[in-house]
Chain A
Amino acid sequence: MAEAVDYKAIGTSPVRPDGVDKVTGRAQYGADLNLPGQIYGKVLRSPHAHARILKIDTSRALALPGVYGVITGQDFPEAEGGEIGGEGGGDVSDLAKNIMARDKVLYHGHAVAAVAAKSLSVAQAALDAISVEYEVLAPVLDLESAMAPGATLIDPSCFTKNLPEKPTAPSNIAAVMKLGRGNVEEGFAQADVIVEGEYRIPMAHQGYIEPHACIASCNEQGQATVWCCTQGHFEFRAMTAKVLRMHIADLKFIASEIGGGFGGKTVIYLEPLAVMLSRKSRRPVKMAMTREEVFRATGPTSGTLARIRVGARKDGTLTAATAWLAYEAGAYAGAPMGPGAMTVFAPYILPNFAVEAFDVLLNKPKVAAYRAPGAPQSMYAMECAMDELAERLGMDPIDLRLKNAAEEGTQAPYGPKFPAIGLKACLNAAKAHPNYTRPLPAGAGRGMAVGFWFNVGMQSSAEVHINEDGTVTIVEGSPDIGGSRASMALMASETLGIPYERIKVIIGDTESAGFSNVTGGSRTTFATGMAVIRACEDIIAQCKSRAASTWGIDADQVDWRDGAAIPAPGVNAALKPLALADIAAGAPKTGGPLLGRASLNAQGAGAGFSVNLADIRVDPETGKVDVLSFTAIQDAGKAIHPAYVEGQMQGGAVQGLGWALNEEYIYDANGVMQNAGFLDYRMPVASDLPMIDTVIVEVPNPTHPYGVRGVGETPIVAPLATAANAVSRATGVRMRDLPLSPPRVLEALEAAGR
């Protein structure tokens, strides 16, 4: 277990190794690579939310000069059955149909054909020349209609999973999940106060600034190389191989720099199309989405309907709670209802609870992961209910949480007992923070809420190469989305005992790095970091043995300190230390190149808790809200690069605020998204915000050599309820439906007679 020790490298915030290329425009992102002889691919998308495809005629497009290939759903091989695991995974045949529709289109923007042409303008002309006959069907656009008996079916072969008995009729409810403990009735009977509410959280997009892009080049043997922006090039390779029925070894994926993902770039959309078009045209094919395509046709996160009931004794002790959670899956099953159900009550000791969650199909894009998928929605509802409970009990909302807070040994609602966790430490830090105690600005309300995410481990590989001069090249397979090269180099620097500046970190492609799962689940610094540390330890062991043979002593008589082999205490003290550079220089004579390796399936990702505070002012005339201050407090286990940990907390806070205050998918009655652009899907801009204050709490994760917990996802969970609780307290009216955009706030105020 990591103790409070004096680290040399860890806990400092040096400039990231890839920084210069990113501030000068040199770094190559998904759409920045061009290949000699490349042509351009574009996708024809459905103008209808729900329709049967009767006929596609591509002959006029193919006849255009400069068009090299056209594909439709008919060109795809029959999909294999089975599932692909991990974030972004799911049913293979659904994945294939989401990439290109076969007999039905299920959302506005669903791909129906793709072309490759000599220029973008010819490609566009080719799309215009394709004619598609549709039989338009009624769209299903909200959870209540989708779940109602007799609803129009999105997929007539969909029978609800996980029911005690196999249902006899198909349904838009793809799956249900139940979770519970104790006796809820008895629990509520013991309660002095019960609060109950229904909450709506809109469908929202990850909003990464870089649209999806790739280039594929296929040779005459059918082997293909694909360059793309991805959170996980190994998973992209596996998904593409499954969809196209190729051997994994015939596909090489190279991850470009990635311009944001937040979970949204764990799924393939363009890559198999580019491979197929390249195969047809025998040329490299470049494809990039427009922003409109990103909104309409990539996976946002679920809109959610949540009903919460929670009871407590007069002293604040929780006695029982129930949650009913319906998540929009979009066109294919796979909403994050599982994690939503498992996180909703995770912060609290609850003797009696019951959770029921639903994965619901409707005519919207298939959802993808978005930062702590499922948790912001369910925990928003619970944390609002807790705030209401605190008001009803006349208790400080932090005290109410402290009274019921989970700690080491508490059995989590989803099963295991928590090891050391930082919830209470975060709550105490919040209570002591000057932003919690200073006078409230006029017209403002102060809100707080708790956030939680499990974090994951999963598989990672790393190689550590010691160069001839003692500098170090690390090859790993986790795309760097927010500064992870810096944290890898810091952990290697600490472990090896050499300066950070001598270490270079490379994200290898699928043929030059060992397998690694996606950069997702807040796992990279934790799990890939663990692989890097183990690979460095492998190097140290080899160096000790090289030094031992040089000195003619046993390897166990050699220690490693400050980047050098030294004789152990009591051994020949006259021996001069052999620094890493000395051992590297002598390597040809002591056994050859120094190469350290590790691969693992990391277990014991420490759960991440957070507490957020906000002061928000509401203009009663217009309903506009202003965030006056925001404080993010989070347990990082151990912050390897504190500036980038703060960056995760601040960025997640603002994404959560955007979701709470402005962002939502708006559809018309035909299922056409009305705001598929950054002007109308309004994400927070600099002038909307104050500085985001941060407090990093460090309760070490006992399973990581340096105590690391993932920090990437937890930050987006608490801001939703923090904002709503602040607005509710500012106005005296309970806000339940997000986003708290000016019209909705005004409506709520008017409904309450304010």
Chain B
Amino acid sequence: MDKIQIGTSINGEAVEFLCEPQQSLLEVLRDTLGRTGTKEGCSTGDCGACSVLMDGRLVCACLVLAAEAGGHEITTIEGLATDAGLHPIQQKFLEHAALQCGICTPGLIVATKALLDRHPDPDETTIRYWLAGNLCRCTGYDKIIRAVQDAARSLAHPA
């Protein structure tokens, strides 16, 4: 099958790759580029484990064709921590024990970033609806919601 050459930006770095026309961004991120921080839970857009940002917008990487990523800026879980350390959302997920098995965690953290970028001070209902596309089977969501609330506080008032 003929492959397509795509140029994109992933976590601020220019990246070029070859893909088959039917391949998803998720498949290319994980298998072609080796960025396995983005997880696969269903490949039908129902679980949110593959949440990434495309030009700042929250998308399921399994529902985006890899070829569609051309010319866009992709942010994955690997792009959140900086030289200064973990992103406050990552830190708060740890402090609140908001992960058990951890497979949904990268997607939830990326979804939380999308939420807090738009709504820096969300109420509990807003958080719950924003994260409704991200399945977690271990926690019952309680500690995740609390981590997000605390991350919002921490981003609003950096220590």
User: What residues of chain A have their CB less than 8 Å away from a CB belonging to chain B?
Assistant: 13, 15-16, 18-20, 22-29, 31-32, 34, 120-121, 206-211, 257-262, 288, 290-291, 481-483, 641, 643-644, 646-648, 650-655, 677-679, 683-689, 691-692
Contact = CB atoms under 8 A, between A and B. Distances in A.
**A-side binding surface: helix, strand, loop or mixed?**
loop
A679 B44 CA distance: 9
A257 B141 contact: no
21 contacts: A13-B97, A19-B94, A20-B94, A22-B102, A23-B77, A23-B86, A23-B90, A23-B94, A206-B137, A209-B137, A291-B43, A483-B100, A651-B138, A654-B139, A655-B137, A655-B140, A678-B41, A678-B47, A686-B129, A686-B144, A691-B145
B45 to A, nearest CB: 8
Contacts of A652: 140
Contacts, number: 186
A273 B66 CA distance: 30
Interface residues on B, range: 35 or more
Interface string B126-143: 011101111111111111
Contact of B132 (A16, A258, A644, A687): A687
Of B38, B43, B144, most A-chain CB atoms within 10 Å? B43
Interface of B: 1, 20, 22, 27, 30-31, 34-44, 46-47, 49, 76-78, 80-81, 86, 90, 93-97, 99-106, 109, 125, 127-129, 131-145
A249 B44 CA distance: 40
Contact of B103 (A13, A260, A644, A689): A260
Contacts of B38: 25
B142 A23 contact: no
A14 B141 CA distance: 19
Give 5 nearest A-B pairs by CB, closest first.
A25-B37, A259-B103, A654-B140, A22-B102, A678-B46
A27 B127 CA distance: 26
A325 to B, nearest CB: 26
B46 A25 contact: no
Contact of B134 (A13, A644, A686, A692): A686
Contact of A687 (B101, B129, B140): B129
B44 A685 contact: no
Given A25-B37, A208-B137, A291-B41, A651 B100 contact: yes
Contact of B137 (A23, A28, A260): A260
Contacts of A19: 94, 99
Nearest to A24: B81
A89 to B, nearest CB: 23
A650 B43 contact: no
Contacts of B31: 34
A24 B11 CA distance: 13
A487 to B, nearest CB: 12
Contacts of A291: 41-44, 46-47
Contacts of B104: 209, 259
